[in-house]
A and B are shown apart, each in its own frame.
Chain A
């Protein structure tokens, strides 16, 4: 379903061109659980951003569910992100002035979901993650683990096909990190494709497929074909 062919991405740092990704070919099938690893600067976050349509490749073709995304306009890309992709970030990125429930509701507001069904869906999502009693709390009143769970609820409220997690446990202690990983794996077991960037070998061991990046190239891929 995700198919990258000859993807290149170059950044200008000062006068120097840095090849974050050079000619990457990469395919992920529906329902896979992929861990992307690599040292910092190896291009793993750039790869995730390109898959999530937050970044555009300089060269190459990226097709998502048989749709050539490089041809899409800003509005169309936004619509794809809205309906097919869910992001989980290392720093949670919750809107600090909104309550947990409002943060989870946000993607549905953007997608014009009917207000009545919004409330019930938020309620169901929060209670499935054990956050019912935290619905009216603001992010600064929540622990790190709770914040990441709210962020996961927000990422999955639109029932996306793919979840992209960028170091989801990077900012959490061990136990809440394990909690978050379990939740993500649950979602994977229910059929969502999970792509996770991590530099924690213990976490990557849990994934069915491990992809190693080095200097903008895929150096090893346990499930490639």
Chain B
């Protein structure tokens, strides 16, 4: 029997029982669609986290004062007080080849007032490097100008939310606001960019780092953000930071350097595992579809017993009957898988419309795996009914009507 004839014959057999065929295709389609959809959700979550980290800054290293001991070991005999990070520490890092930008950061909270309006706001002291490192963008005006970081200019950049609350629709550029005991001239407004890992960019004032230190009467830094010169330079930059600070801090390793890549890859691993396990759960629905196909094919075989008997009588070998029934379940799962893929894409499209901020994506591997598993299920669960058909005794099969 030619392949084309096998397919045609099986397709005719399927279209001869439309309700049954439709239900089996539906079961398979739902199985495939749920695998793809759930994987798309997981992949979306992974991308979401990755994007958040990227918006934190690219090739970022964060230098924190104090050593976080993660390896255990005996506690130091003499209590050691970690040295503060200073602006000079930060500036000393800029001279290395692996490091592109350095943004020292001081954080505090102070009342900001203009005319009679008054708000308690987070004050961030930094340099112009912060703009590039954190991928900020301006709604109005410009960011803190480049220049000697040790000189505290009386200028500030405010978040869009603060601008709205203090100034309404008026332009704040050039206005003087009072922050704590000092006066600053507004030179720019930050554009709306959303929440960036816990820090609301809208509700914020950025001032030159030296001004912030004066404002809060401190010489220490909250942390230092360092942007490496590319992905390969991250580990080199980390070494250099540790070495430089150790040298400056009289041989003490009293800072912690967190690389964004390490965080990111941890999250990445967690989320990939999560996606796979969710896909695995969805795969159960595929196997349920497979069992359904087996059941219905078994019913089909017993309904078509006399047909099988006839096929044998007119000279169909058992192996050919096996092929015919396997072709049927394969066609079923193929159509089911195709429909499932369409359903899944409709679903992700709908979800993407409903939650535009969440980056839903169907990974290609999930698509391939779902369709492959569907075909495999159809074949595996089709074998039992097909074998039963092939083994039917023709005389007995024909005696049934």
Indicate if B274 sits at the interface (CB-CB under 8 A): no
Q: With A54-B313, A75-B319 known to touch, is A97 a contact of B13 (CB < 8 Å)? A: yes
**B266: min CB distance to chain A, Å:** 59
> CA–CA, A106 to B313, complex, Å?
12
Contact B398 A93 (CB under 8 A): yes
Residues of A within 8 A of B394 (CB): 54-55
Contact B12 A98 (CB under 8 A): yes
Which of B15, B311, B317 has its CB near the most chain A CB atoms (within 10 A)? B317
| Minimal Cβ-Cβ distance residue in B for A77 | B317
Indicate if B251 sits at the interface (CB-CB under 8 A): no
Residues of A within 8 A of B319 (CB): 74-75
Indicate if B401 sits at the interface (CB-CB under 8 A): yes
**B25: min CB distance to chain A, Å:** 18
Determine, out of A107-115, A142-150, A189-197, the stretch whose residues face the partner at the interface.
A107-115
Indicate if A134 sits at the interface (CB-CB under 8 A): no
> CA–CA, A93 to B394, complex, Å?
12
Contact A49 B395 (CB under 8 A): yes
Q: Which of A55, A106, A110 contacts B395 (CB 8 A)?
A: A55
Residues of B within 8 A of A78 (CB): 312, 315-318, 320
Contact B317 A75 (CB under 8 A): yes
Interface mask (B365-401 → A, CB under 8 Å = 1, otherwise 0): 0000000000000000000000000000011001001
The count of chain B contact residues (Cβ–Cβ below 8 Å) is 26
**A75: min CB distance to chain B, Å:** 4
| Minimal Cβ-Cβ distance residue in A for B309 | A93
Residues of B within 8 A of A75 (CB): 317, 319
Determine, out of A63-71, A82-90, A203-211, the stretch whose residues face the partner at the interface.
A82-90
Interface of B is mostly: helix
Indicate if B252 sits at the interface (CB-CB under 8 A): no
Residues of A within 8 A of B77 (CB): none
**A109: min CB distance to chain B, Å:** 5
Interface mask (A91-119 → B, CB under 8 Å = 1, otherwise 0): 10101111000100011011110000000
Residues of B within 8 A of A89 (CB): 398
The count of chain A contact residues (Cβ–Cβ below 8 Å) is 30
In A170-223, which residues have CB < 8 Å from any B CB?
Answer: none
Indicate if A168 sits at the interface (CB-CB under 8 A): no
Contact A74 B310 (CB under 8 A): no
Q: Which of B16, B307, B318 contacts A74 (CB 8 A)?
A: B318
Q: With A93-B309, A97-B13 known to touch, is A87 a contact of B395 (CB < 8 Å)? A: no
Indicate if B2 sits at the interface (CB-CB under 8 A): yes
Q: With A54-B395, A93-B398 known to touch, is A112 a contact of B1 (CB < 8 Å)? A: yes
Q: With A78-B316, A107-B315, A109-B9 known to touch, is A95 a contact of B395 (CB < 8 Å)? A: no
Indicate if B314 sits at the interface (CB-CB under 8 A): yes
| Minimal Cβ-Cβ distance residue in B for A93 | B310
Contact A97 B16 (CB under 8 A): yes
| Minimal Cβ-Cβ distance residue in A for B2 | A112
Indicate if A44 sits at the interface (CB-CB under 8 A): no
| Minimal Cβ-Cβ distance residue in B for A86 | B314
Residues of A within 8 A of B395 (CB): 49, 54-55
**B90: min CB distance to chain A, Å:** 82
Residues of A within 8 A of B15 (CB): 97
| Minimal Cβ-Cβ distance residue in A for B318 | A74
Q: Which of B307, B311, B315, B318 contacts A111 (CB 8 A)?
A: B315
**A148: min CB distance to chain B, Å:** 14
| Minimal Cβ-Cβ distance residue in B for A109 | B5
> CA–CA, A129 to B13, complex, Å?
27
**B384: min CB distance to chain A, Å:** 19
Indicate if A79 sits at the interface (CB-CB under 8 A): yes
Residues of A within 8 A of B329 (CB): none
> CA–CA, A215 to B395, complex, Å?
20
| Minimal Cβ-Cβ distance residue in B for A105 | B5
> CA–CA, A109 to B311, complex, Å?
11
Indicate if B306 sits at the interface (CB-CB under 8 A): yes
Residues of B within 8 A of A106 (CB): 311, 314
Pull 10 A–B residue pairs with CB atoms less than 8 Å apart, ordered by A.
A54-B312, A75-B319, A81-B312, A81-B315, A82-B316, A93-B307, A93-B398, A97-B15, A109-B1, A110-B315
Shortest beta-carbon contacts, A-B, top 9 = A82-B315, A97-B16, A78-B317, A81-B315, A75-B317, A93-B310, A54-B394, A107-B314, A109-B5
Given contacts A54-B313, A97-B16, A109-B5, 18 further A-B contacts (CB under 8 A): A49-B395, A75-B317, A78-B318, A79-B317, A81-B312, A81-B313, A82-B314, A85-B315, A89-B398, A93-B310, A93-B398, A98-B12, A107-B314, A107-B315, A109-B1, A109-B2, A112-B2, A155-B314
